[in-house]
Amino acid sequence: MTIESVRPISAAMHEDASTAPGPIQLEAVKAAPATTKTGMLVVGAFADGTLPAVGAEIDAASKGRLSALIGRSDIESKAGATALFHDLPGIAAERLLVVSLGPRETFGDKAFRDALTGTAKALRDGKAADAAVTLTAIDVPDRSLAWRTREAARMLADGLYRFDAPKANGAKKPERGVRRIALVGRGDVTQEIEAAVRRGAATAEGMALAKDLGNLPANVCNPAYFAETARRMAEGLPIEVEVLEREDMAKLGMHAALSVGRASDNPCKLVVMHYRGGDGAKPIVLIGKGVTFDTGGISLKPGEDLDMMKYDMCGAASVLGAIQTAARLELPLNVVAAVNAVENMPGGNATRPGDVVRSMSGRTIEILNTDAEGRLGLCDVLTYVERFEPECVVDVATLTGACVIALGNVASGLYANDDALAEELFACAEATGDRAWRMPLWDEYQEQLKSNFADMTNLGGRAAGSVTAACFLARFTKSYRWAHLDIAGTNAKSGDQKGATGRPVPLLAEFLMRRADVTARRRPA
């Protein structure tokens, strides 16, 4: 079975859509690697030159030529380093890519993923149109073949992602890189392995959608564009989309959320998506912060790296990617995704520091800083989703620079009012490498949100800024199990690697798939 990792709908929505590459085809196959005809055959080797079993077979077919070349090559010992060889005797492939697995004694999840990352880069930048990858045949401690296959499908498809940036006169870049990938093993391709390929590919597709939305400039991806993307994404999928306009939100009393976009010419939208794959079960609700550009408002941000504020809607983009993944896989779950898409701008009608607004819950908020705007939108959406009587709620937001100081760019901050939900999300983070770390949500921090003029302030001061932001949100989640992911450090990269990461789609997708597996096991045969 061949799985196509389809380009997301947003790639077809901007003016330079003709540059979008075709779909990536992924499949698991049973084959002898040495006799597999392909543009590039990928094999792993440990830092000391030792070959795993599948590599030893290829070495035997080449009569020792492969091990001799590895011994003379300049390939680095660090996992993920690669070396490319052509026309190896006894091998049907045109090219052979050797990827380092790092030291044998420390080989594990990270080295396996690093090897996949290095492989994906070589496949993306090379001239081969198809490839056969043998890395899933290598044992990883405490990990199943299905896990290795799913991770390989996701990471290889994700690694081939390119953003189709508009160019002068519609000029097209020469198309390079692999478009067909076979995950080669010696065992039979079972239904479990086929499902693992589908899950990995669907997750990568959700990541691509999230990346496209994040990477688009804010003059394209505004609140209206985001809402239209949700509608287009839902076409052909069992997803219903409802878009509430500013007037609808005002009637609901969502004045905290509306305060953020008052000065923008682009009206805010509340985008609500429903995937109904479960029989009458309570829905899992995903909420995303959708600030399509954040100037800070009257509390204007410094000019340095202000262009990165187009990524302030990556929480919203990730929940869009996650619900698409659930629908693509037809998971037996009910999922609701809700996004307050808004632009935070200065202007004559902007919210001022010191203003007091009433939230949908009825509680009042003194706005000390208009750059602490994400929580104002989220608190009203957290109240809005009570109507769905959720099984649980997970919100995702580029919420605080303080989280970047605390955890850097490696892990997202994880907060929860329920220990079991926190542990479940943490396990999903570890399984996917989409790291998260649990942070405290203690009542002592609530003291920092006191106000003389309202029920609370929207800012707790410099100390524990990520924690107090989460504590603010926690005040609106008393009626259900809730978790919050602060992705301010993990949503995008800057510098030469500038671009959205697609995180935490892998974590969210894993969470939904595990919930679906539990549901499937409970169903009568």
What's the number of CA atoms in the CB half-sphere (13 Å) around residue 255?
14
Strands (E) in 174-218, as ranges, are 180-185
The two tokens of residue 158 are: 């994700």
Helix/strand/coil for 91: coil
Distance, in Å, from the CA atom of 400 to the CA atom of 407, rounded to the nearest integer, reads: 11
Decide: residue 276, CB within 10 A, 0-12 exposed, 13-18 middle, 19+ buried: middle
Any idea which residue has 């035997």 for tokens? 60
Q: What sign for the dihedral angle of Cα 284, 500, 297, 450? A: positive
Look at residues 197, 520, 523, 428 and name the one whose alpha carbon lies nearest to residue 328: 197
Distance, in Å, from the CA atom of 368 to the CA atom of 354, rounded to the nearest integer, reads: 5
Residues with catalytic roles: 301, 375
Residue pair 378/395 in contact by the 8 Å Cβ criterion: yes
Number of H helices, E strands in the chain: 14, 20
Amino acid making up residue 477: T
Decide: residue 167, CB within 10 A, 0-12 exposed, 13-18 middle, 19+ buried: exposed
Distance, in Å, from the CA atom of 2 to the CA atom of 96, rounded to the nearest integer, reads: 23
Residues 6+ apart with CB under 8 A from 225: 13, 216, 292
Amino acid making up residue 350: A
Amino acid making up residue 218: A
Residue pair 411/418 in contact by the 8 Å Cβ criterion: no
Amino acid making up residue 520: A
Beta-bridged to residue 342, according to DSSP, are 291
The two tokens of residue 92 are: 């049907």
Look at residues 412, 494, 478, 410 and name the one whose alpha carbon lies nearest to residue 443: 478
The two tokens of residue 480 are: 């259900």
Q: CA angle, 215 as apex, 242 and 212 as ends, to 5°?
A: 55
